[in-house]
Structure 1
Amino acid sequence: MKKEPIINNSPGCKSNITAIRDTMEILSGKWKFHIIGTLIFGGKLRFMDLLREVEGIGRKMLSKELQDMEMNHLISRTVLNTKPVTVEYEITEYGRTLTPIIEEIANWGISYRSNLYCAKD
């Protein structure tokens, strides 16, 4: 007889699963963590600065990701009255709540690279 998986249908479990799904939807994709990290560690940056810092991303994709993150209140966009027009992006206070997660991802990456390269020796 095949056993059915045990599913926890408690309100707390459903709430956590929903929260994880929402978070993954907002932060999913190849570039969002890189952009957020760049703005957290680099401060306020212009579009072209971000394009240079986020190696490998194209203009259209950067523009799309910035729009998504602005819509989700993770970054703010400021248009300066210059000629030509200058646009600056910075992490919002709400976006700054991701700092511990970004720092942990960076720490994990440092550890991973260290283990990878030390293991080859």
Structure 2
Amino acid sequence: MATRTAAQKRAQAKAEYDAFLAVCPSRQLLDRISDKWVTLILCALGGGGSPRPGPDGSGEPRPMRYSELSRRLAGVSQKMLTQTLRSLERDGLLIRTAVPTVPVTVTYELTDLGLSLHGAVRTIKAWAEAHMDDVLANREAHDARDA
């Protein structure tokens, strides 16, 4: 049996990722990115959370401070926002930058990896907003049949 380098082993593992398999590590990533707070944070940092979006419904990606994110994401608790930002930083989807001012200025910004995911989650967010009336009507019709 031939010896493989670490890079060859990683390439082989990557080729074998299949989220339908219970042991596949990509399932953890799918679990992470399917979280509503992750989706909304990525959209906000990617420009889709801008109060004044561009003509296509999105603004330019830009850094945001914690307090700005907290205001933008109605209903998120301080604990959940902090945990989600930390997990996104750990996964390499965003970068946290602390500037030594009084008080310290901390901003969050999408990395290239985060930007590559932003387009997909922005599309899902837009789909949900555009089709919510249809979903609500279907739920109501379904519940009426079951009653």
TM-score by structure 1 length?
0.75
Counterparts in 2 of 1:60 and 1:97: CA distance versus 1, 3 Å? same
Provide the rounded CA distance (Å) in 2 between the counterparts of 1:59 and 1:117: 30
In the superposition, relative to structure 1, how do residues 114 and 28 fare at CA in structure 2: closer, same or farther (>3 Å)? closer
Structure 1 counterpart of 2:77 = 58
The answer to whether the 8 A contact 2:46-2:118 is kept is: yes
- Structure 1, unaligned runs of 5 or more: 1-13
Q: CA deviation at 1:81?
A: 1.7
> Do residues 80 (structure 1) and 99 (structure 2) align?
yes
May I ask how many residue pairs the two structures share in their alignment? 110
Instruction: State the Cα deviation string for residues 54-89 of structure 1 (Å, max 9, x = none).
Output: 110111111111111000000100001211111000
Deviates more, 1:69-78 or 1:106-115: 106-115
Measure the CA separation in 1 of the matches of 2:33 and 2:121: 12
AA partner of residue 16 (structure 1): D
- Larger relative contact order (CA 8 Å, sep ≥ 6): 1
Correspondence for 1:39:
45
5+ residue gaps, structure 2, are 1-15, 51-61, 139-147
Aligned residues: percent identity?
Answer: 28
SS of match in other structure, 2:108: strand
For 1:5-20, list aligned pairs within 5 A: 15-17=17-19, 18=24, 20=26
State the distance in 1 between where 2:31 and 2:137 align: 35
Q: CA RMSD in A?
A: 2.7
Please report the TM-score for the alignment, with normalisation by the length of structure 2: 0.63
Matched, 1:92 2:101: no
What SS does the aligned partner of 2:85 have?
Answer: helix
